[in-house]
């Protein structure tokens, strides 16, 4: 809980100097707001608070300087009074006494200046304490995981395989021991009774007893193995990526983000595969769908839930007639005559390792995680240009899974930042933690994730605490939601947890939630969704086509990729 | 600023009174610095920080702001008294036959 451990020291008596002092180390910046929801970052996050505190400290320093100046002027005044007293000693005492009170060391200007300086120092210490608390063990674990993974990988495939065999043997041995203990616990013997008691007591406990309870309690020969929480996967992924890098021939120096590097190598592999299959290098073209089969949304969205519902509608699998590889762009006319836009981007629709016609595919996933402008992002760029979005018109980008990654890529692209005013970005189930590019000051991001959604952990990086970026993490096991939201989140099956319908349900729940960071996002979103009198939707379809020998502008909307072209297929 | 050219209550404009002019200048600068400091403190008080410590912090700043309010009042009270003192000194210097300070002291000193 933010601010939980910060204390302000108080003086022992009224006259003593007091100081804004730092108490015990505060907790990390994850704010459990109940109902299975945790919020990170945003306007209510640690970074926003520490920036505020440092701003306040600077103001206090400035106040101290001004008060010291005032005290100096009071000293000048005393000097003038002294000089004048030679000519008018009768009026001296009262004048000197009044100015002495103004300057006074206990309650006068000097005291106020000293206290302002002390408050400034105290605030800076408080801000540092918040920042120290933020540097949690997660960063340390990540570094250790990368180092260990890289080290094991460097031992070579044979040693790694031998280690793997040993680990497998150990796991089998442990499983047989647990199975034997569970069998023994069902016997009417004193040992069986003891094991049963441990199993039952441990099921309601945590720590060592909890582990024993998990191993011995419940039905069946072996204990139930749940999917790891996304945070655990997120911690392991960098180590695994470093291990894979290490396995590659030659020395692989450790890098801070091995996941990005491995994604780049996988892209090269899939490109090589495409070349072997005789696929030519491709480029992306985008065309408006003149008579879209899907039902276009002419109702203006009113909140997060409606926005996510539009994304859900864009999936061909939604059963609402959407074509593959399409993004929808909704034009909103406001009562004051202004225009804003909502761009809805679905996630991965084609899981083939070889790039096909649909740019919303695994290749775009790899491109985005590898830090390259994805083909899917190029589809969105061309669609936005083609729709006629003007630079001064506010845009809300909404995406699920790959769609969220793409939305962040577009928002963080320096060239596109000049071309469009991206006011808000809403991502759901997207691994956007590694996308740390700069956002314009007017852009606010809200990311919805789930503790059971392994996809959000795919980049091996946690979403950073940033005043502009808010992350809401849903723990499906702890939500008290009813209706469709509840059904969508039932169970901790990763597939169900990543489903767009689950995130749509979550978004509708968030619409009813009061939380400072979410409220700040909602305020930004009102610039796009507020006061709408008419809405119309266009649908654009992106396609990968064989790249022409020379660059050709197709239909006036296809062109060079901003932020770096990335045609699929092997170079050349 | 009123503090820079505030005339003494019953001694007329500073005119060719050098001591009073210096006092007015110092009082005006003091007043300006105090106003700026109060603005900065008010800005520092409005920090968006929510916790139990934030409440204590605001109470401390309120105390400091209260002290500054008192200082402002004291300054307003001091204004006329100081300027009357300096104006009296200026008048004594301008008086015919004024020789020097000690002469004046001799005639105004009281045990």
Residues in contact with A318: Cβ distance below 8 Å, sequence separation at least 6, in sequence order: A312, A500
Is the pLDDT at B8 greater than 60, yes or no? no
**pLDDT at A191 (0 to 100):** 85
Cβ contact B26–A73 (<8 Å): yes
Encoded tokens for A370: 């590898």
Beta-carbon count within 10 A of B52 CB: 14
Scanning every residue of chain A, which has its alpha carbon at the shortest distance from the alpha carbon of B99? A87
Residues of A in contact with B67 (CB under 8 A): 107-108, 111-112
Cβ contact B92–A87 (<8 Å): yes
Residues of A in contact with B105 (CB under 8 A): 86, 89
- A20–chain B nearest CA distance, Å: 6
**pLDDT at A136 (0 to 100):** 61
Instruction: Look up the ipTM and state it.
Output: 0.81
In the A/B pair of chains, how many CB contacts fall below 8 A?
Answer: 189
Instruction: Using a CB–CB cutoff of 8 Å, tell me whether A3 touches chain B.
Output: yes
Sheet holding A282-288, edge to edge: A31-32, A37-41, A469-474, A444-450, A421-428, A394-400, A339-345, A326-334, A532-546, A282-288
Cβ contact A73–B44 (<8 Å): no
Residues in contact with A95: Cβ distance below 8 Å, sequence separation at least 6, in sequence order: A81, B78, B81, B82, B84, B85
Please list the ranges in chain A whose pLDDT falls under 70: 1-30, 133-138, 291-297, 481-494, 549-572
Residue A32 CB burial class (10 angstroms; 0-12, 13-18, ≥19): middle
**pLDDT at A491 (0 to 100):** 53
Instruction: Using a CB–CB cutoff of 8 Å, tell me whether B56 touches chain A.
Output: yes
Scanning every residue of chain B, which has its alpha carbon at the shortest distance from the alpha carbon of A61? B40
Instruction: Using a CB–CB cutoff of 8 Å, tell me whether A140 touches chain B.
Output: no
Beta-carbon count within 10 A of A386 CB: 18
- B93–chain A nearest CA distance, Å: 7
**pLDDT at B106 (0 to 100):** 46
Residues of B in contact with A8 (CB under 8 A): 53, 56-57, 60
Pair A323, A541: CB distance under 8 Å:
yes
Is the pLDDT at B30 greater than 70, yes or no? yes
**pLDDT at A143 (0 to 100):** 81
**pLDDT at A16 (0 to 100):** 34
Pair A509, A518: CB distance under 8 Å:
no
Pair A239, A151: CB distance under 8 Å:
no
Residues of B in contact with A48 (CB under 8 A): 48
Of the CA atoms within 13 Å of residue A132, those in its CB half-sphere come to 13
Is the pLDDT at B11 greater than 90, yes or no? no
A520-548, pLDDT tens digit by residue? 999 999 999 999 999 999 999 999 998 87
- B6–chain A nearest CA distance, Å: 15
- A520–chain B nearest CA distance, Å: 13
Instruction: Using a CB–CB cutoff of 8 Å, tell me whether B107 touches chain A.
Output: no
Instruction: Using a CB–CB cutoff of 8 Å, tell me whether B102 touches chain A.
Output: yes
């Amino acid at each position: 809980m933010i601010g939980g451990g910060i204390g302000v020291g108080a003086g022992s008596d009224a006259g003593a100097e007091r100081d804004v002092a730092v108490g015990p180390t505060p907790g990390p910046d994850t704010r459990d707001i109940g109902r299975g929801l945790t919020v990170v970052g945003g306007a209510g996050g640690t970074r926003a608070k520490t920036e505020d505190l440092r701003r306040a400290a600077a103001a206090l320093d400035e106040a101290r300087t001004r008060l010291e100046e005032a005290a100096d002027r009071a000293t000048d005044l005393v000097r003038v009074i002294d000089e004048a007293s030679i000519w008018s000693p009768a009026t001296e005492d009262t004048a000197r006494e009044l100015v002495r009170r103004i300057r006074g060391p206990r309650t006068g200007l000097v005291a106020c200046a000293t206290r302002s300086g002390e408050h400034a120092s105290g605030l800076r210490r408080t801000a540092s304490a918040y920042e120290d608390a933020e540097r949690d063990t997660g960063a340390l674990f990540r570094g250790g995981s990368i180092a260990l993974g890289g080290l094991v990988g460097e031992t070579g495939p044979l040693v790694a395989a031998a280690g793997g065999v040993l680990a497998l043997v150990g796991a089998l041995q442990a499983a047989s021991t647990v199975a034997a203990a569970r069998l023994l616990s069902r016997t009417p013997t004193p040992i069986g009774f003891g094991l049963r008691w441990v199993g039952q007591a441990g099921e309601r406990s945590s720590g060592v007893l909890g582990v024993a309870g998990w191993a011995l309690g419940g039905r069946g020969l072996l204990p139930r193995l749940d999917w790891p929480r996304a945070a655990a996967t997120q911690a392991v992924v960098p180590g695994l990526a470093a291990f894979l890098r290490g396995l590659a021939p030659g020395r692989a120096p450790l890098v801070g983000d091995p996941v990005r590097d491995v994604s780049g190598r996988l892209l090269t592999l899939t490109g090589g595969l495409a070349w072997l299959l005789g696929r030519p290098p491709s480029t992306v073209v985008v065309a408006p769908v003149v008579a879209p089969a899907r039902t276009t949304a002419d109702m203006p969205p009113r909140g997060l839930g409606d926005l996510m519902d539009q994304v859900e509608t864009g999936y061909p699998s939604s059963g609402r007639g959407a074509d593959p590889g399409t993004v929808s762009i909704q034009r909103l006319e406001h009562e004051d005559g202004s225009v804003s836009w909502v761009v809805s981007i679905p996630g991965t629709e084609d899981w083939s390792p070889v790039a096909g016609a649909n740019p919303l595919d695994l290749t775009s996933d790899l491109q985005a995680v590898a830090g390259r402008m994805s083909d899917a992002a190029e589809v969105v760029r061309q669609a936005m240009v083609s729709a006629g979005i003007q630079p001064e018109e506010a845009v809300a980008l909404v995406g699920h899974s790959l769609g969220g990654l793409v939305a962040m890529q577009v928002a963080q692209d320096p060239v596109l930042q000049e071309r469009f005013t991206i006011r808000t970005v809403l991502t759901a189930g997207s691994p956007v933690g590694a996308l740390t590019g700069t956002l314009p000051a007017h852009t606010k991001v809200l990311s919805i994730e789930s503790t059971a959604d392994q996809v959000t952990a795919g980049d091996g990086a946690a979403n950073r605490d940033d005043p502009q970026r808010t992350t809401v993490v849903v723990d499906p096991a702890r939500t008290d939601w009813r209706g469709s939201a509840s059904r969508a989140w039932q169970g901790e099956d990763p597939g169900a947890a990543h489903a767009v319908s689950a995130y749509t349900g979550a978004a509708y729940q968030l619409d009813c939630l009061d939380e400072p960071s979410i409220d700040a996002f909602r305020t930004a979103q009102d610039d796009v969704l507020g006061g709408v009198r008419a809405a119309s939707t266009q649908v654009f379809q992106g396609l990968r086509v064989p790249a022409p020998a020379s660059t050709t502008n197709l239909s006036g909307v296809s062109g060079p990729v901003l932020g770096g072209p990335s045609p699929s297929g092997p170079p050349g | 600023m009123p503090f820079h050219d505030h005339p003494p209550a019953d001694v007329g404009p500073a005119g060719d009174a050098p001591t009073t002019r210096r006092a007015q200048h110092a009082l005006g600068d003091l007043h300006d610095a105090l106003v700026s400091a109060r603005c900065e403190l008010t800005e520092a008080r409005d920090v968006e920080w929510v916790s139990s410590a934030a409440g204590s912090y605001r109470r401390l700043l309120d105390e400091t702001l209260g002290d500054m309010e008192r200082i402002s009042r004291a300054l307003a009270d001091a204004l006329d008294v100081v300027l009357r003192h300096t104006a009296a000194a200026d008048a004594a210097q301008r008086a015919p036959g004024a020789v020097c300070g000690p002469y004046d002291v001799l005639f105004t000193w009281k045990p």
